[in-house]
Amino acid sequence: MIIHLREFFTFLASYINSRLKATGEFLEGAKDVVVALLVVRRGKYSISFLNTVFFTFSIIFYSLAPIVAENNPFVRKERTKAAGIIAVDYNPWQYSLQTEFSIKPRDKIIEYKAKKGDTLAKIAKKFGITVETIKWANNLKSERIREGQVLKIPPVSGVVHKVKPGETIYSIAKKYKVDPQKIVNFIFNEFADPETFALRPGQILYVPDGVIEEKKPVFAGRRRQVFKVQAGVQGSGGFIWPASGRITQYPIWYHMALDIANRSAPDIVASDRGVVVISTCLRYGYGCHVVIDHGNGYRTLYAHMAKLYVTVGQRVEKGQPIGKMGSTGRSTGTHVHFEIRQGRRLLNPLKFLK
């Protein structure tokens, strides 16, 4: 019995070996034919052949991708308490600038259905805007609301304006008593022409800190005062004020910087000693701007200048003029946009300049 089994397996191995050899010879011959055909036809069939190979490999890739991802040794996975949810330690924004506030920005109006016990004050606090903003957006004459009432909630405190033919950001800013730069600074406002800030009739424009005047203004007393500052004055955090003028824009989640305006276009000075790492002019955005590395983990940025006095690699002292205030880039008037950075984070400059 054992002898018969041994003979059977010997025969089976010999048979399989012969079949594999025959199949290999057939495939080798077929390959030669295909190669010869592609060469003779000068690529006529090569595109179809390559497309077929690409399509086949694509199917294999997408079939194996989940398996590769599941067993990828370079990504640390942590199962959350919720069943079936896997969190990986990958952050697509890890190399981008971040502000020190963890607030998810909203780019448009949302609707909110009032619940039992809701008041305008509670709703305003919930969404981080003023009571007046909600009243203006919903044409409310009083602060009374009812359960189930649907309210429009703007993304920022101020006025929501529907643009009429012939209006500009300057006329709209004047109407709602704000600096036009505040309209430009709101990152979700769109313009038909980024250079002139032209508007399209009918578009929705957000006017941060805008005010609708009434006979008895409910916003009076809550508006920020316009403070004047002097270049070179020492702050509490080691930095000095970079320019003289009036503060037209305070730090907020979508604009973590100070805007200091002055029509006389004075010189801008280095807020602290350091080395210039950027000194360039852009058509949009910051326009002509300078970035100084202070060697202690902090960097400062000075934007929208008319002239640059320093170059990359130059060492500057605290209070040294580095450029002339202007209105280049995304700007509506003569001012400086001043930022303080720590690594990839944008910090509130007022914490260093009070």
Residue 127 has pLDDT above 60, yes or no: yes
pLDDT in tens, 34-47: 545 554 444 444 45
Residue 241 has pLDDT above 60, yes or no: yes
Q: 208, 212, 154, 155: which is closest to 183 by C-alpha?
A: 208
Beta bridge partners of 275: 293, 315
For 292, residues 6+ apart whose C-beta sits below 8 A from its C-beta are 270, 271, 272, 274, 275, 276, 277, 299, 300, 302, 316, 322
The structure's pTM equals 0.59
Residue with tokens 């907020």: 252
Mean pLDDT of 304-333: 96
- Give the domains, in start order, of the chain with CATH numbers: 2-70 (no CATH), 110-208 (3.10.350.10), 228-353 (2.70.70.10)
Residues 327/81, Cβ–Cβ less than 8 Å: no
pLDDT band at 81 (very low <50, low <70, confident <90, very high): very low
**Phi (first) and psi of residue 27, to 5 degrees:** -65, -40
Mean pLDDT of 108-118: 92
Residue 95 has pLDDT above 50, yes or no: no
User: How far is residue 117 from each of residues 30, 120, 152, 349, measured CA to CA in Å?
Assistant: 80, 10, 18, 38
Mean pLDDT of 217-228: 50
Residue 235 has pLDDT above 50, yes or no: yes
Rounded CA-CA distance 267/286 in Å is 17
**% the chain with pLDDT above 70:** 69
Which of the residue ranges 44-53, 105-114, 269-278 has the most confident prediction, judged by mean pLDDT? Answer: 269-278
Mean pLDDT of 48-53: 56
User: What is the rounded average pLDDT for all residues in the chain?
Assistant: 80
| Per-residue model confidence (pLDDT) at position 238 | 84
| Per-residue model confidence (pLDDT) at position 54 | 55
Beta bridge partners of 152: 111
More confident residue, 172 or 229: 172
**% the chain with pLDDT above 90:** 57
Q: Using DSSP, how many helices (H) and how many strands (E) does the chain show?
A: 7, 18
* DSSP output for 139-160: T-SSS---TT-EEEE-SSSEEE
pLDDT in tens, 153-183: 999 999 999 999 999 999 999 999 999 999 9
Which residue pairs, CB below 8 angstroms and at least 24 apart, start in 112-116?
Answer: 112/150, 112/151, 112/153, 113/148, 113/149, 113/150, 113/151, 114/145, 114/146, 114/147, 114/148, 114/149, 114/150, 114/151, 115/147, 116/147
Mean pLDDT of 17-40: 60
Beta bridge partners of 260: 247, 336
Containing H/E element for 26?
Answer: helix 2-40
Containing H/E element for 46?
Answer: helix 46-70
| Per-residue model confidence (pLDDT) at position 268 | 97
Strand runs (DSSP E) across the chain, as ranges?
A: 77-79, 86-88, 98-99, 110-113, 150-153, 158-162, 204-208, 228-229, 245-249, 258-261, 267-269, 274-281, 288-293, 298-308, 315-316, 321-325, 335-342, 345-347
Beta bridge partners of 77: 88
Mean pLDDT of 329-344: 95
pLDDT band at 194 (very low <50, low <70, confident <90, very high): confident
